[in-house]
């Protein structure tokens, strides 16, 4: 079975032009078929602030009213996605930018209003495998923004980018042997969040429960690990959490998930 790499890049790197440039150069140099999923939460928060709109995050998710949906659509599916595509084209990588609505790539369902009303936030409910296969087998490199769509009413919805990466990886797993790599600004899952040398090399479900109970993992690391375990349990062959600047290292020098 052919291997496809699904790489996710997080918002702190997307917001740092030098780190992003280096990461995109390494991504472009990766051998074989690949998909890039990007976040950009930090830039959306900064642009919202500039427009006088306050950001509310609950459990790592953005409360998205109609005005915020307009902003995140412009920022993720426009500004960030197109700049990444242009930079990859400049590196000789034939990238094609999409959000979940394009080619029906990621259908979603709006979250129920209880217990928390997140507004226009969706959880993935379907994957456009035919679209993805046509692009990948056609030699294109999909670059996916974390905006999905609800086919029942055609509405765009905001979706956590780690969840989008997991959905793409799981969706491709029946067809290819899939490797999912979450790249961010730290070296992996750390025992001490302030010590980059404290990377935990391997995490299984039992250790994850202990790390949560001890408060070693928190904040944005929780949805990342939940998505990582969901991917491993759903047929993705290899899942790694690592530093963006280590993408070119063999094995990525980060945390590998096991079940
Ligand atoms: N044990 C841990 N190891 C590494 N990061 C952790 C840990 N616990 C909490 N974190 C926090 O999780 C953040 C990553 O989540 P998030 O900001 O959502 O990632 P991304 O940049 O991919 O969007 C890190 O910046 C760090 O502050
Ligand atoms: C619903 C929801 O929370 N969506 C995220 C999508 C972007 C994202 O996840 O970006 P990072 O990977 O940079 O965190 C948000 O708007 O922040």
Which CATH number characterizes residue 165's domain? 3.40.1160.10
Query: What is the three-class DSSP state of 233?
Result: helix
User: Alpha helix locations (H) across 99-220?
Assistant: 129-137, 161-173, 205-213
Q: How far apart are CA 114 and CA 130, in angstroms?
A: 34
- pLDDT of 59 strictly over 90: no
Q: How far apart are CA 141 and CA 98, in angstroms?
A: 10
Tell how far CA 203 is from the center of its chain.
Answer: 20
- pLDDT of 195 strictly over 90: yes
Q: Helices 205-213 & 221-233, crossing angle to 10 degrees?
A: 160
pLDDT of 97 reads: 98
Tokens 């400049």 identify what position?
Answer: 90
pLDDT of 11 reads: 87
Residue 56: give the domain boundaries.
3-257
DSSP for residue 165: H
Identify the band that residue 22 occupies on the pLDDT scale cut at 50, 70 and 90: very high
Q: How far apart are CA 68 and CA 117, in angstroms?
A: 14
Question: In what side-by-side order are the strands of the sheet with 141-144?
Answer: 95-98, 141-144, 34-38, 3-9, 177-184, 238-243, 255-257, 202-203
pLDDT of 117 reads: 97
Mean pLDDT of all residues in 40-61? 95
- State the closest ligand 2 atom to the C-alpha of 164, by its place in the atom list counted from 1: 9
* Separation of CA 155 and ligand 1 centre (Å): 30
Ligand closest to Cα of 63 equals 2
User: Taking phi first (over 0 means left), then psi (-120 to 50 degrees means alpha), and beta for anything else, what does residue 2 get?
Assistant: beta
Overall number of domains in the chain: 1
Q: Percentage of the chain surpassing pLDDT 90?
A: 96
Annotated binding-site residues for substrate read 40-41, 62, 158
Angle ∠(146,199,58) on CA atoms, nearest 5: 35
Mean pLDDT of all residues in 42-67? 95
- The token pair at 129 is 């495998």
pLDDT of 246 reads: 97
Q: How far apart are CA 211 and CA 213, in angstroms?
A: 6
The contacts found for 223-228 with CB under 8 angstroms, 24 or more apart, are 223/59, 223/60, 223/61, 223/160, 223/162, 223/163, 224/162, 224/182, 224/184, 225/189, 225/257, 227/162, 227/163, 227/165, 227/166, 227/182, 228/166, 228/180, 228/182, 228/257
Q: Are strands 141-144 and 95-98 parallel, antiparallel or unpaired?
A: parallel
Mean pLDDT of all residues in 60-75? 96
Lowest average pLDDT, out of 34-48, 133-147, 212-226, goes to 212-226
* Separation of CA 37 and ligand 1 centre (Å): 17
Query: What is the three-class DSSP state of 142?
Result: strand
Ligand closest to Cα of 43 equals 2
Residue ranges around ligand 1 (CB below 6 Å): 10-12, 39, 41, 184-186, 189-190, 193, 216-221, 224
* Separation of CA 62 and ligand 2 centre (Å): 7
Question: What's the chain's average pLDDT?
Answer: 97
pLDDT of 259 reads: 87
Q: Assess: ipTM above 0.85.
A: yes
């Amino acid at each position: 079975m052919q291997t496809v790499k699904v790489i996710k890049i997080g918002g702190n790197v997307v917001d740092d032009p030098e780190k992003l440039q280096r990461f995109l150069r390494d991504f472009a140099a990766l051998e074989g078929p690949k998909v890039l999923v990007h976040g950009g939460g930090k830039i959306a928060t900064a642009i919202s602030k500039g427009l006088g709109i306050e950001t509310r995050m609950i459990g790592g998710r953005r409360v998205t009213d109609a005005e915020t949906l307009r902003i995140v659509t412009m920022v993720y599916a426009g500004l960030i996605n197109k700049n990444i595509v242009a930079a990859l084209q400049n590196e000789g990588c034939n990238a094609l930018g999409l959000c979940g609505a394009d080619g029906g790539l990621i259908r979603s369902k709006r979250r129920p209003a209880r217990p928390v009303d997140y507004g226009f936030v969706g959880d993935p409910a379907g994957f456009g495998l035919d679209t993805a296969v046509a692009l990948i087998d056609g030699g294109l490199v999909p670059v996916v923004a974390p905006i999905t769509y609800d086919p029942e009413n055609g509405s765009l919805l905001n979706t956590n980018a780690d969840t989008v990466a997991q959905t793409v990886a799981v969706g491709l797993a029946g067809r290819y042997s899939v490797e999912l790599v979450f790249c961010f600004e730290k070296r992996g899952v750390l025992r001490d969040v302030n010590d980059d040398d404290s990377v935990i090399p391997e995490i299984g479900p039992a250790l994850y429960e202990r790390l949560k109970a001890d408060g070693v993992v928190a904040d944005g690391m929780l949805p990342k690990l939940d998505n990582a375990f969901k991917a491993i349990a759903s047929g993705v062959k290899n899942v790694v959490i690592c530093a963006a600047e280590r993408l070119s290292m063999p094995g990525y020098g980060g945390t590998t998930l096991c079940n």
